Chain A
Amino acid sequence: MRFSSIRQRTGLLALILCILLFASITLGVSIGSVSIPFGRVWGIILHQLFPDWQTFACDWPKNEVGIVWQLRLPRVLLGVLVGAGLMMGGATIQSMVRNSLADPYLLGISSGACAGAVLAILFTGKLLGAALGGMPTVSLSAFLGALLAFALVFLIASRGSGLTPMRMVLSGLAVSYIFMAMTNFLVYLNQRSGAETAVFWMLGGLGGARWERLPIPFAVTSLCLVVLMLQSRSLNALLLGDESAAALGVDVQRFRRFLFVVTSALTGVLVAVSGSIGFVGLVVPHIMRMIVGADHRRVLPLGALLGAIFLIWADVFSRTVMAPRELPLGIVTGFIGAPFFIWLLSHGGHK
């Protein structure tokens, strides 16, 4: 019947996206100032994973091992996590506030993180050169800023009649403005060092990727993927409206509080490692809905794959287009994402 055909189509799409993701990871590691053949990419990766495995000739130059294993692979993998995570955060927040224009940064998380990061840079006296090495402190501070922003928005929004979409959006906006003003003030006072940090955090990038910085985003993103997928039906019901969802048996207030905490933790962690990369969380859920419909049981897993692919390519672009300089990722996602979005709106909008 019709249903099985939807399931088959979803399965086929999942397969295609998995293949594309694999190809994108390979290409993402291969492409760069030193280009490395695909075979060698996997040779080096497999040799690093299984050093005892003797099938490889190991005839590659030593410096390529460093490029593949130490620089590009962690970076590509961070891109996978951030892309998938931002997409899930975006799709969930859109359902939570029932507005397709919402993105993961709507509720003040990124401006909080940005303020935290800038504060850390300035007050621990580190300049940007040292900042890349000293990132964990800054990341931690960014995460604390995100947490503070979340707590403020939550407290303001849940007063009175409870967490309604309108109250959440308005509280998020208000808190964003407070933190943005704070960031701007700090930048204004310390123009040289402050501005560069602020720009990095506001526009985002994967330049800080190291193996040792991957476990936390990996754990949080995969946990959120599982948790949110378990809630797919409730996310669907919430899109019908608060009253309809309640009539179907969703405890709307509690569910919304739960989603708020989950998406904030997810966004906070991602912003702390990569800054706030715009557009992914807004556009990718839209593209996914245009392809497979609004059902979160399909949108979340497929969208996570698409988000990962999208971010890998955005990062490749940001590394290569002005090489050796790196373009901040937020600029790239904006430049690619926005026109693509406009094209989608005017063409493929209706199935």
Chain B
Amino acid sequence: MSEKLSVAKLQWQVAGRRIVDGVDVTVNPGEFVGVIGPNGSGKSSFLRCVYRVNRPDSGAVFLDGEDLWKMSSAQAARRCAAVPQEMPAQFDFTVREIVAMGRYPYKKAMERDTDDDRRLAAQAMDYVGLSQKADQAFSSLSGGEKQRTLIARAIAQNTGFLVLDEPTNHLDIYYQLEIMDLIRRMGTASLVVMHDLNLASQYCDRLYVLYRGRVAAAGRPQDVITPELIARLYHVETRVAIRPETGRPQIIFLRRLIGAESAE
């Protein structure tokens, strides 16, 4: 088994409703894989099954061939780092303190931070360009800097696999690109839930499109992103063209397809 991540027949339900309904996903080493789909398609719920918030009702999540849900929570956290959507609020940690928490799964109860921990945290902050702000309060940062701090924490976790839930949410376009570049440049196998179809198309090696808890389409962006698919799942009429600059499909949204939703 050479895949980094392999999700097989994953199911997760709430009150008898299957939110994630038999999802198969693979991520190869070094691959940047996007998960897209309309609101309520189960993207985030699926991702939470991978970073061990939602325990699957059936199916399995394999990382390097090992069942992630059969490991201890610390073991799993040493293999898979996640950047969820939530933002720490109210309590003032510094950037350095938050990044250093990435070392949590490696530490015993009263163990002090070692030089190694400090070095990994410093490298992670350096990588995301926040070394200058290491001792500032997290709450004093801008949105993009906050997101970079959380990514640095995931980097300091030093896992071979990264999961991110809409990392570009609420950011200006410059910072959206900055975040995407940052993640791509690492070369770590990553699974990323994304909202912006054009951004997903431009950055991801492969895409999975979720719809009502199932994989509706999967493949390279140029194979997946089609006007038919977007019309069927998003109920929007579009034009799709391959941009010569990126070699990736770019979508122009024309209008909503009124009535299509109720016809489904």
Establish whether residues B84 and A243, one from each chain, have CB atoms under 8 Å apart when the complex forms.
yes
Q: In the complex, which residues of chain B have a beta carbon less than 8 angstroms from the beta carbon of A248? A: 77, 101-102, 104-105, 157
List, in ascending order, chain A residues with CB within 8 A of B53's CB. Answer: 242-243, 246-247
Check if B73 sits within 8 Å of A249, measured CB to CB.
yes
A293 touching B77 by the CB < 8 A rule? no
Complex formed: what's the CA distance from A98 to B107 in Å? 23
Of the listed stretches A50-58, A227-235, A318-326, name the one at the interface; the rest are far from the partner chain. Answer: A227-235
Known contacts being A99-B90, A231-B109, A293-B92, is A247 close to B97, with CB within 8 Å?
no
**Bound Cα distance A235, B73 (Å):** 16
> Would you give the shortest CB distance from B254 to chain A, in whole angstroms?
36
8 Å CB interface, A286-320 against B: 289, 293-295
Minimum CB–CB distance for B85 against chain A, Å: 8
Interface residue B207 (Cβ < 8 Å from any Cβ of A)? no
Q: Could you say which residues of chain B place their CB within 8 Å of the CB of A247?
A: 51-53, 77, 80-84, 163
Q: Any chain A CB within 8 A of the CB of B127?
A: no
Q: Tell me which residues across on chain A come within 8 A of B134, comparing CB atoms.
A: 2
The answer to the question of B88 belonging to the interface, with a C-beta cut-off of 8 Å to chain A, is yes
Of all chain A residues, the one with the shortest Cβ separation from B48 is A243
User: Are B73's CB and A229's CB within 8 A?
Assistant: no
Whether B52 pairs with A3 at a CB distance below 8 angstroms is: no
A251 at the interface (CB under 8 A from B): yes
For window 217-264 of A, CB contacts with B under 8 Å fall at 229-231, 233-234, 236-237, 239-244, 246-251
Is A237's CB under 8 angstroms from B73's CB? no
Query: Which of B64-90 touch A at CB < 8 Å?
Result: 72-78, 80-88, 90
B residues less than 8 Å from A98 (CB atoms)? 90-91
Give the size category of B's interface with A. Answer: 35 or more
Q: Is B94 an interface residue (CB 8 A)?
A: yes
Chain A residues within 8 Å of B94, by CB: 293
Determine which residue in A99, A230, A244, A247 has the highest number of CB atoms from chain B within 10 A of its CB, and name it.
Answer: A247
Chain B contacts of A229 at CB under 8 A?
110
Q: Is the CB of B93 within 8 A of A294?
A: yes
With an 8 A cutoff between CB atoms, is B137 at the interface? yes
Q: Which of under 10, 10 to 19, 20 to 34, or 35 or more describes the interface residues of A?
A: 20 to 34
Closest chain B residue to A349, Cβ basis: B92
Q: Is the CB of B52 within 8 A of A246?
A: yes
Q: Does B223 contact A (CB under 8 A)?
A: no
In the complex where A100-B91, A247-B81, A249-B104 touch, is A2 in contact with B51 (Cβ < 8 A)? no
Docked-complex contact A293 and B98, CB < 8 angstroms = no
Minimum CB–CB distance from B154 to chain A (whole Å) comes to: 8
User: How many whole Å from A54's CB to the nearest CB in chain B?
Assistant: 42
Asked whether B105 lies within 8 Å of A293 as measured between CB atoms, the reply is no
- Decide: B107 and A233 in contact? CB cutoff 8 A: yes
- Cα A350 to Cα B137 in complex, Å, equals 9
- The verdict on A351 contacting chain B, using a C-beta distance below 8 Å, is yes
Known A248-B102, A249-B75; further 9 A-B contacts with Cβ < 8 A? A95-B91, A98-B90, A234-B104, A241-B86, A243-B48, A244-B88, A249-B74, A249-B78, A294-B93
Query: 25 interchain pairs (CB within 8 A)?
Result: A98-B90, A98-B91, A99-B90, A100-B91, A230-B109, A233-B101, A233-B109, A237-B104, A240-B88, A243-B48, A243-B82, A243-B85, A243-B86, A246-B51, A247-B77, A247-B80, A247-B84, A248-B102, A248-B104, A248-B157, A249-B75, A249-B78, A249-B105, A293-B92, A294-B92
User: Chain B: residues with CB nearer than 8 A to chain A?
Assistant: 48, 51-53, 72-78, 80-88, 90-94, 96-98, 101-102, 104-105, 107, 109-110, 113, 118, 134-135, 137, 150, 157, 163
Seen from chain A, the residues whose Cβ lies within 8 Å of a Cβ on chain B are 2-3, 95, 98-100, 229-231, 233-234, 236-237, 239-244, 246-251, 289, 293-295, 350-351
